[in-house]
Structure 1
Amino acid sequence: MKIEEDLHPLFVEAGPGTTATILAKRHGARIVSKAFNAIDSKIKTDEEFASIKKLLGRLWQNGIEIDMSALFKNSNPKIIHQVPTYAYNKKRYWLEAPLTQPAAFVTPIPINITTLPENNQASFNEMSNYPDRKDFFIEKVKEILEKTSGIDVSATNPLNNFMEIGLDSLILTQIASGLKKEFQLPITFRMLNEDLDTIDKLAAYLDKNSAMQVPAQQPPQVVPQNTQQRHSQQFANPLAENDALSLIAQQINLLSQQVMLLQNGNTLPQNLPVQNPPPAQFNGSPKAAPVNGDDGLTIEEKTEIKKPFGAIARIETKTDGITDEQKIFLAKLIEGYNKKTPKSKAYTQRHRPYMADPRVVSGFKPATKEMIYSIVVSKSKGCHLWDIDGNEYVDALNGFGSNFLGYQADVLKKAMIEQIEKGYEIGPQHELAGEVCKLISEMTGMERIGLCNTGSEAVLGAMRIARTVNNRNLIVAFTGSYHGIVDEVLVRGTKKLKTFPAASGILPDNVQNMLILDYGTDETLEIIKNRASDIAGILVEPVQSRRPEFQPVDFLKQLRQLTTEKDIALIFDEVITGFRSHPAGAQALFGVKADLATYGKIVGGGLSLGVIGGDRKYLDALDGGFWQYGDRSVPEVGVTYFAGTFVRHPLALATAKATLDYLKEQGPELQRRINNRTTQLAKRMNEVCDQLGVPIYIAHFSSLWKIKFKEEYPYHELLFSLMRLKNIHIWDGFPCFLTLAHTDEDIERICEAFKTSLQELLDAGFVTQQKGLTNKEPNLIVEANQPPVAGAKLGRDKDGNPAWFVKDAENEGRFLKLSEN
């Protein structure tokens, strides 16, 4: 951002399309008003010249000198110098045109003002405080956009489309609902993507169709008068010196009075005096206005808040510009993909009318529409899947982390079959429930254990328990974490400490007891310290599945100390890290013991199971605490509600016990072995990125690994489509996992498919090559109490990664990032 701050450049996309313009505008409010495209790929050929002229006009508005004579050299235009270039230079410029007959108002006609009714205000009842009714709707739409998305759109050009502003399909869905509720009009998500895709178009639609009454301004008082002189004095209100707003008010007042006179059958008096301000001084072209970026949001934060949340279905209905060669490449890819998986495609189309599945539509783009469908699987074994077309795949996703021992592992298959033979009754207490809880307690060190169905339920329960015990409302969570599908954790936050829902259907009020802070910074610790009296619990994903390379161990230790001092529940979400990184999870690896922890995925052995573990102080809130028979003991702790029909399902308990028994028998060496293999996989794939010179790297922690892009590409998802075509089951945006079932041959297949797929994208121009680029996985295990230089502060860089910063001696209040070298 140093270039932007020093040079104040404008950004122009040369050539058709808006891809570069959109990417530029995602760097924050300062860039939004300075990035322009030359030719929209959607316009017709005969409209291209008009589009160029529109661009030149915008550049001129921003202070760029335009050679008009060169632009219109073939039409010999005349430049009019006399017309004012400043909107409030209220000099009169009359067209010299002969009149065929005298106009009715040329000869002054005396007006009998006393014929006006004293209380004639009918024409003012709908007068707006805005110069135009449409302007009112523009401001109203901006208000709804900002309230829904958290993005500051006050300075946004109403002609920019919603994608340029940074509104994704998830946010537009929420906005459509808000607009429909506010204006009682059938505004849909599709309309906002097509016909009403700008603030200006939407405001025009509302102006035409909305029955909403625009706020009325106070009507001027009409007082009967008997002379034209007294009538004229009414219009000659004094103006504050050079006060443009007062001038506008006077002009509106004048027009209103004139309309009233005409409506009552009177002719306008001539030469009504209006006090004009001195002409504004204006020399040359307009200069670029300074951009006010002091809205409390960092550039990284603005970028983050615009991104789709979690596993939300990503839907785009417009096609970014692609070359003819790329179109040929896509056509061949789609043909091959459809030929390989025709039954999966037919299955998807056949069941679409009645099966609502977000995963089936995720990644939708018009250019790749024909291969937007899931691979439909019919069987599995180990780390392999077979689809209904008979294709065999190496699975990289592995049940989003729930498959650890391998599909149909003998120990799990045996336990499930035995339990099926015994029965899987719902309702009665099951004989395995106590044994499973004891095993989890022994392995994790948690004093008490509660069971539920999913990781999301476990997170909900842990938050409820923390609030119950500590009698406070606020829960702190961190940017970049994922905690499931409960309303309160589907949330975005800002530096202003405001909180916004991240999905449609979540009421804003439902997330106001959440505080979202940056993960791993000193500022966060200070905020927590200052708000401690309000905080019931702090929810932490110790290693974020979206950013596994970031492991702020020292921050977690300081957080543990702070929460202990302030009597705040420290909650570790170990749904992914639990039992995977170590038998006792990330808590054992990092040496940080939480008050509450949630588990899932691995512990269920492939079936759905959620776990809440924690100290007695907190888990007693589920059942009242310990008591025993034969004495006067009673449950002494106040309880909260937490229950479910399928909690402690016999089949899930059977596979959980089998999994836990196996992990306990193998000991920590099992996790160390698979963790090392994952490290080697990530190393090999990063070497491929180095060889090809692409800005991509593989981040990992434990047996989780994730393909990450250092730059955004419009069709980056093609990498995953190509890998599926090469028999690797992998999805865009999701972390991948190694299992005990992956062999060296399976790992080799993953690496080879990754390499050849990247090479194909390079050849087709969908990924760019950068010579000399090193894509090693960043070392982000940060010790916050060990700065590389004195006075350095820990923060986040433009990519959201932790980095050290020092004060900029030349610019007060600014910081410079320290280089890793």
Structure 2
Amino acid sequence: MPTSHELFLEASKIIPGGVNSPVRACRSVGCEPLFIASAKGSKVTTVEGKEYIDFVESWGPMLLGHCHPEVSSALHTAVDLGTSYGAPCPNEVVLAKLILEAMPNMEMVRMVNSGTEATMSALRLARACTKRNKLIKFEGCYHGHADAFLASAGSGVATLSIPGTPGVPDVVVADTLLAAYNDLDAVKAHFEKNPKDIAAIIVEPMAGNMGLVKPAKGFLEGLRELCTKYGALLIFDEVITGFRLDFGGAQKRYNVKPDLTTLGKIIGGGLPVGAYAGKREYMSQIAPSGNVYQAGTLSGNPLAMAAGIATLNVLKKSDYNALESRVKRFCEELTAAFKANGITAFINSEASMFTIFFEGIEPQNFSDVKKASTEIYSKFYQHMRNEGILLAPSAFEVAMVSFAHSEADFEKTLQAASRFKI
């Protein structure tokens, strides 16, 4: 089999940048990408046969680890029944019920094929329901690559330092109003200036696309109050946090009720899937029960539905508190290892996620995040990769831990980190 380097050279001739999603190119960390041949549990194996402890977890959805036996079994069964129908299948109903039972703030759910589809569909619905056009989003938060969301987006846009929104008409982002994450006063100012024009606020209830940034006390509650006061809809983008931060999502953990919620690939066990959901009065306006059009040939795909059902049934019985305690202890030990080597780092963690901010402070917003050293992160990424530990190839992403990560995995990672010197 060709090596990762050989595959990347070949891919670069026929695929833009040699990758099918920009951050994978590893440019910001000074490396070429690794090509993965297989994955199992907490580990991935490259085409060269080298095994890595995986803290990317397909960017979040593999909370059970790779190839969980119950998920794999469900998929094998589903494949034999057909891979795509373009018609309803029984498991769509089963998965929809599981999602709504886990997140009772929602009353109806529509399956789509990605987080981007979910967020752009939720925005269209919010605009239709309110008969308004403007949107408030937060600097550094990424909600997929639909045009309206690419103003000051985090994730790969921040990683690659792409200026503005090339290819997006000015008139499209003119209705996107920006505020700093955790800055409730800025949101109030937008509403006071545009009291009858704002359709929605979209927010990552815990930011994960500029690194892990927690909501300040009262921030989410304040957004809820402002939306209610001015007649706008509150959209929680739970593509990352849904079923990972808590089985009931961030809305359960923080006890704040959004009007609409978007979900990502975790509801399909990592397969291409997404969903948007919310109150019946809004969701019933989606075609064919209403006039807001949204469609997808592969929506409700039988493979994704089967994998999602298996995933949520296992997660329902999983000990989230125990995993969070393990991650918290690991982050404390990792901080101590850095300190012993004279390295300044703040590690922000929540549930099964963490981000290392080298020479940084506890961040409240994207401006704080950008004060951390991306240069040191790049060196750390390279060091850990050489040690057999795979982190996200971007300082603006979150490290993900799964239920499959063992104490031996944590210990090997800590030992590797303790050998890092600046």
- Note whether the superposition's TM-score is higher than 0.5: yes
Q: Which residue is equivalent to 1:596?
A: 260
Give 2:235's match in structure 1, choosing from 571, 574, 595.
Answer: 571
Whether contact under 8 Å (1:433, 1:648) holds in the other structure is yes
Q: Which amino acid aligns with 2:186?
A: T
Q: Which residue is equivalent to 1:384?
A: 43
Q: Which amino acid aligns with 1:640?
A: V
3-state SS of 1:700 partner: strand
Q: Which residue is equivalent to 1:689?
A: 338
1:436 equivalenced with 2:98 (yes/no): no
Q: Which amino acid aligns with 1:682?
A: C
How far the C-alpha of 1:351 sits from its partner, in A, is 3.0
Alignment of 1:315-330 (within 5 A): none
Consecutive unaligned residues of structure 1, counting only runs of 5 or more, are 1-340, 494-499, 626-637, 763-821
Give 1:422's match in structure 2, choosing from 59, 81, 84.
Answer: 81
CA distance in 2, matches of 1:706, 1:364: 16
How far the C-alpha of 1:601 sits from its partner, in A, is 2.7
- Structure 1 residues 455-514: Cα deviation after superposition (integer angstroms, max 9, x where no partner): 111000110000001000001111121111111111139xxxxxx973322222221111
Q: Which amino acid aligns with 2:287?
A: D
Give 1:556's match in structure 2, choosing from 220, 226, 229.
Answer: 220
Q: Which amino acid aligns with 2:133?
A: N
1:526 equivalenced with 2:220 (yes/no): no
From the superposition, tell whether residues 662 and 713 of structure 1 become closer, same or farther in structure 2 (CA, over 3 Å): closer
Q: Which amino acid aligns with 1:727?
A: G
Q: Which residue is equivalent to 1:352?
A: 12
Of structures 1 and 2, the larger Rg is shown by: 1
Whether contact under 8 Å (2:118, 2:263) holds in the other structure is yes
CA distance in 2, matches of 1:714, 1:413: 39
Q: Which amino acid aligns with 2:3?
A: K
Give 1:393's match in structure 2, choosing from 24, 41, 52.
Answer: 52
Q: Which residue is equivalent to 1:271?
A: none
- Structure 1 residues 609-644: Cα deviation after superposition (integer angstroms, max 9, x where no partner): 10111001211111365xxxxxxxxxxxx4211111
Q: Which residue is equivalent to 2:326?
A: 677
CA distance in 2, matches of 1:714, 1:443: 41
Q: Which residue is equivalent to 1:514?
A: 176
CA distance in 2, matches of 1:440, 1:359: 30
Give 2:144's match in structure 1, choosing from 477, 484, 509.
Answer: 484
How far the C-alpha of 1:716 sits from its partner, in A, is 4.1
How far the C-alpha of 1:542 sits from its partner, in A, is 0.8
Whether contact under 8 Å (1:454, 1:600) holds in the other structure is yes
Whether contact under 8 Å (1:581, 1:702) holds in the other structure is yes
3-state SS of 1:503 partner: coil
CA distance in 2, matches of 1:386, 1:447: 41
- Structure 1 residues 108-133: Cα deviation after superposition (integer angstroms, max 9, x where no partner): xxxxxxxxxxxxxxxxxxxxxxxxxx
Whether contact under 8 Å (1:501, 1:507) holds in the other structure is no
Q: Which amino acid aligns with 2:315?
A: L
Higher relative contact order (CA 8 A, sep 6+): 2
From the superposition, tell whether residues 590 and 687 of structure 1 become closer, same or farther in structure 2 (CA, over 3 Å): same
From the superposition, tell whether residues 479 and 449 of structure 1 become closer, same or farther in structure 2 (CA, over 3 Å): same
Q: Which residue is equivalent to 2:292?
A: 640
Whether contact under 8 Å (2:261, 2:278) holds in the other structure is yes
- Structure 1 residues 413-458: Cα deviation after superposition (integer angstroms, max 9, x where no partner): 1100000111123311111111111111111111010110011110
Q: Which residue is equivalent to 1:314?
A: none
The percentage of aligned residue pairs carrying the same residue is 29
CA distance in 2, matches of 1:713, 1:542: 24
Q: Which amino acid aligns with 1:712?
A: S
CA distance in 1, matches of 2:182, 2:28: 35
RMSD: 2.1
CA distance in 1, matches of 2:203, 2:243: 17
CA distance in 2, matches of 1:438, 1:558: 30
How far the C-alpha of 1:727 sits from its partner, in A, is 0.4
CA distance in 1, matches of 2:240, 2:374: 28
* Equivalenced residues, count: 393
Whether contact under 8 Å (1:451, 1:612) holds in the other structure is yes
CA distance in 2, matches of 1:364, 1:707: 16
Q: Which residue is equivalent to 2:273?
A: 609
CA distance in 2, matches of 1:419, 1:749: 37
Consecutive unaligned residues of structure 2, counting only runs of 5 or more, are 154-161, 361-371
Give TM-score scaled by structure 2 length. 0.88
Q: Which residue is equivalent to 2:159?
A: none
CA distance in 2, matches of 1:399, 1:350: 23
Whether contact under 8 Å (2:188, 2:226) holds in the other structure is no
Whether contact under 8 Å (2:212, 2:398) holds in the other structure is no
CA distance in 2, matches of 1:644, 1:408: 27
1:717 equivalenced with 2:369 (yes/no): no
Alignment of 1:184-333 (within 5 A): none
Give 1:657's match in structure 2, choosing from 309, 316, 338.
Answer: 309
Whether contact under 8 Å (2:211, 2:398) holds in the other structure is no
Give 1:744's match in structure 2, choosing from 407, 414, 420.
Answer: 407
CA distance in 2, matches of 1:525, 1:489: 17
Whether contact under 8 Å (1:544, 1:550) holds in the other structure is yes
Q: Which amino acid aligns with 1:646?
A: L
3-state SS of 2:207 partner: coil
Whether contact under 8 Å (1:582, 1:588) holds in the other structure is yes
CA distance in 2, matches of 1:650, 1:520: 39
CA distance in 1, matches of 2:251, 2:376: 38
How far the C-alpha of 1:364 sits from its partner, in A, is 6.4
How far the C-alpha of 1:360 sits from its partner, in A, is 5.8
How far the C-alpha of 1:518 sits from its partner, in A, is 1.7
Q: Which residue is equivalent to 2:202?
A: 539
Whether contact under 8 Å (1:480, 1:547) holds in the other structure is no
CA distance in 2, matches of 1:566, 1:741: 45
3-state SS of 1:532 partner: coil
CA distance in 2, matches of 1:618, 1:678: 38
CA distance in 1, matches of 2:23, 2:204: 24
Q: Which residue is equivalent to 1:505?
A: 167
3-state SS of 1:573 partner: strand
Q: Which amino acid aligns with 1:605?
A: G
CA distance in 2, matches of 1:735, 1:713: 14
From the superposition, tell whether residues 547 and 388 of structure 1 become closer, same or farther in structure 2 (CA, over 3 Å): closer
From the superposition, tell whether residues 714 and 392 of structure 1 become closer, same or farther in structure 2 (CA, over 3 Å): closer
Q: Which amino acid aligns with 2:11?
A: H
1:728 equivalenced with 2:389 (yes/no): yes
1:699 equivalenced with 2:360 (yes/no): no
- Structure 1 residues 263-311: Cα deviation after superposition (integer angstroms, max 9, x where no partner): xxxxxxxxxxxxxxxxxxxxxxxxxxxxxxxxxxxxxxxxxxxxxxxxx
Whether contact under 8 Å (1:542, 1:574) holds in the other structure is yes
Give 1:407's match in structure 2, choosing from 44, 66, 82.
Answer: 66
Alignment of 1:65-144 (within 5 A): none
